[in-house]
Amino acid sequence: MIRVERVNDEAALKEVFKIRQTVFVEEQEVDAAEEYDEFEDSSNHYLAFFNGIPAGTARWRPKGEKIKLERFAVVKEFRNKGVASAIMENILKDVPADKTLLLHAQIAAMPLYEKFDFKAFGPEFNEAGIRHFAMSLSTSTQTE
């Protein structure tokens, strides 16, 4: 069973950082200095549990008139079990209506975002040594 919670205490935020450390810094070899940034305190963090075990995370934050979704990470043993989709579903319920959502998608993760109607735009680019595409979604097109 998957449960997703919006993070509202330090203990949960520590679990978020553990997952990001495991996935981004250790597995994908992203420099820790690039992984943790000045937006940690101003972001809305989410923590997903799979059968009670911390399994995935993501965050969103305002970026001008838009919303930036970032740091989607699922622990390897919980991938392809619906964890990232459950996180995205929760985020889409929480973000302000009528905003354009932006994200930088690793190429391997693009099918997940396309499932939620995100569209790629612009050229492929490298971020933290990993190939990405920018993607966007207008929340005004989402229906209940």
CATH of the domain at 12: 3.40.630.30
Q: Examine the pLDDT at 123 and tell me if it is beyond 70.
A: yes
pTM of this structure: 0.91
Phi then psi dihedrals of residue 76, to 5 deg: -45, -45
Identify the domain containing residue 89 by its residue range. 2-141
Give the pLDDT score at 140.
65
For 60-115, write each residue's pLDDT tens digit.
Answer: 999 999 999 999 999 999 999 999 999 999 999 999 888 999 999 999 999 999 99
Question: Vertex 28, ends 25 and 29: CA angle to 5°?
Answer: 55
The pair of three-digit structure tokens given for residue 102, joined into one six-digit string:
């932006």
Give the pLDDT score at 144.
43
The whole-chain average pLDDT of the chain stands at 93
For 29-38, write each residue's pLDDT tens digit.
Answer: 998 888 888 8
Phi then psi dihedrals of residue 111, to 5 deg: -60, -35
Domain tally, the chain: 1
Nearest to 44 by CA among 34, 58, 65: 58
User: Do residues 48 and 56 touch, judged by C-beta distance below 8 A?
Assistant: yes
